[in-house]
Amino acid sequence: MPKQKTNKATKKRFKITGTGLVRRRHAMKSHNLEKKSAKRKRAFRRDHPVDGKDAREVKRLLGR
C-alpha cells in the first residue's frame, strides 16, 4: 500500500493547533514596513485562523 504524501509547501505555511484549528501567517508583513503603523505591525505578529472551507482543504493537503 503506498503512503500518502503531505504537501510540503502547505506544511511550511500552516500549523495545526492542539484543538485542530488551522493557523496561518498574516500577509503584508514582509516589506514596505516604514509606512505601516506600529499598531498594524504588532497585529501581523500573531497567527490568524484559516476560514472553514479553506481549513478543510489545508488539512487534506497535510494528510489529516
Per-residue model confidence as pLDDT tens digits over 19-60: 999 999 999 999 999 999 999 999 999 999 999 899 999 999
User: Which pLDDT band holds residue 64 (cuts at 50, 70, 90)?
Assistant: confident
Q: What are phi and psi of 28, to 5 degrees?
A: 70, 20
| Displacement of CA 49 from its chain's centroid (Å) | 7
26: cell is 498574516
Whole-prediction pTM: 0.76
Q: Which helix (H) or strand (E) holds 42?
A: helix 38-45
How high is the pLDDT of residue 3?
87
